[in-house]
Structure 1
């Protein structure tokens, strides 16, 4: 079962944080097709958000075709988001964890690592490279 958390300082609306956490859990294989999401009441008790926030998140996931609400039963996972299987995410996650460890050992803080990741992502994006006259 997924365990939610909401960071009030992140600048990301709480409902969107819940949506992102469900999507991430699906990509990582922590949630499988057929699994039941926590009830609205359980999420409210766990992270102290308004019930409408949870309902909005679950409706968003339902509109995306990832979950289905069943009257009187709860909300269930229908499918994973498009993309590589959870095993690929897990493998790459382990590799990234090793990189983060090395970066911390080298003295980089979180902000420095985030900046490095952003720059690297932008440099590897063909659309960004093309705008700057570079070739991919």
Structure 2
């Protein structure tokens, strides 16, 4: 059975640290390097911050459901809210560049998604009921690429 850790925190900035601490402990136990863990922490912080800032803006305070799931390929981190969804247009962020754009051309929230793609091996965004961001970091990817 693959390990799964779940937690639900209020969608408030002061609780994002709890998510980061849980991620650190779990990813460290799985053998990820310090650099990989730091990359994951930044990506998860971006996803959680998007929930805090945008998902429940005109509603009662909501929550963020986090699920850390180990699969054969690596660690997947699900960040889910039940707030307002947004229209996510998938583009090839993996090969995207900001070099040909002025900062004023980058849309709000666009840098967060861009950073998630830059730091993680796989990023999925589901916007059917609320929003769910699934961030995946593959195990042993560096060795395979060498």
Q: TM-score, normalised by structure 2?
A: 0.28
Q: Return the structure number with greater strand share.
A: 2
Richer in helix (by share): 1
| Larger of the two Rg values belongs to structure | 1
Q: Which has the higher contact order (CA 8 A, sep 6+)?
A: 2
What is the TM-score of this pair, normalised by structure 1?
Answer: 0.29
